[in-house]
A = this chain, B = another copy of it.
Amino acid sequence: MATSTAALRKLERNEALTDDERAAYVAILGRTRTFGAREDIMPEGARPTFSTVMLTGVACRYRTMLEGRRQIVSLQFAGDMCDLHSLLLQPMDHAIGALTACTVAQIPHETVREVVRRHPRLGEAFWRDTLIDGAVFREWIVSLGRRTAYVRVAHLFCEALVRLRAVGLAEGCEFDLPLTQADLADAFGLSIVHVNRVLQRLRSDGLVSMRGGRVAIHDWRGLKAAAEFSPAYLHLGADVEPA
């Protein structure tokens, strides 16, 4: 199934799998579902009996606070296993929400356990994937704690580009990111108004522009420098940055 290529690419980035392992992984992606934008793929407090793998679309993990404020905690692209942790951690301490229309695979926990038992290296790859999630969280903390809004936004675009290139969803310096400025504000811990102003500044500085849900990076080295971006924390190996 064509939709599993991103998922495979993600899992294999660090260590090639055997045909056997690859087949086993694709096999468990069987049952798929679609969600509309703004639907919850998995609500906070749920006790799911399956884990979710993103096949297409953009989703996020988020927490809702009193008075309806929301903080997005990570973005999830195709290939990401966004609630693998529900295998061991119940109930969900945060929600997973579709930001755009999404198709996902839902893998029963029992199936995950079985595949891990039979293919220990897949289990290791899964564990590794959750550890990289942790690394991305840490970087997000650094952004929110010590980077100005301008740098923070620039940094996210750098991260998105690299992650999307790694799974073949961006060529060159452009990629789809059909989020509203309100979504971005919830991700950055900023107000909508300020996100808007920062985006304008990034564009007029000739670094990135975002229009119609598509991001175009006009000056990768400049953006990278402005963002103090270094892709090490993504643990994706080489050949992942644009020329």
Contact = CB atoms under 8 A, between A and B. Distances in A.
Contacts of A132: 89
A62 to B, nearest CB: 9
B138 A94 contact: yes
Interface in A89-144: 89, 91, 93-94, 124, 127-128, 130-135, 137-138, 140-142, 144
Interface residues of A, number: 38
Interface string A190-222: 000000000000000000000000000000000
A128 B73 CA distance: 19
A128 B89 contact: yes
Contacts of A165: none
A238 interface: no
A141 B85 contact: no
B145 A188 contact: yes
Contacts of A232: 91, 93
A137 B146 CA distance: 15
Contacts of A94: 138, 233
Interface of A: 61, 63, 65-66, 69-71, 73-74, 85, 88-89, 91, 93-94, 124, 127-128, 130-135, 137-138, 140-142, 144-146, 188-189, 228, 232-233, 235
